[in-house]
Amino acid sequence: MTEPVTPEKATAPELRIPAPETVTVTTRRIACDGSDDGGLGHPRVWLAIPPETGFVDCGYCDKRFVLDSEQAADDH
């Protein structure tokens, strides 16, 4: 049986919660408004994917945008 993780014992990977949705994109600058086809969402925000991580999470809906480095446009 595994031992429960407490804040004193937690490390960075154990504290990460998976993104509710992950979207693969081909540009470093993307917009997120949180809506799907239903039209409900949040204010549109523009996000920039840092080259160091290759992904960015929306601060409103936690959607993760992952850069497809093989198909990425050079839009730094």
What is the distance between the alpha carbons of residues 75 and 43, in angstroms, rounded to a whole number?
24
Instruction: Please name which of 20, 38, 39, 22 lies closest in space to residue 30, comparing C-alpha atoms.
Output: 22
What is the distance between the alpha carbons of residues 47 and 56, in angstroms, rounded to a whole number?
7
18-67 classified as CATH 2.60.260.40: yes
Residue 65: exposure state from Cβ atoms within 10 A (0-12, 13-18, ≥19) = buried
Domain-wise residue ranges, the chain: 18-67
pLDDT of residue 75: 56
For the segment 14-54, what is each residue's pLDDT rounded down to a tens digit? 566 776 889 999 999 999 999 876 667 899 999 999 999 99
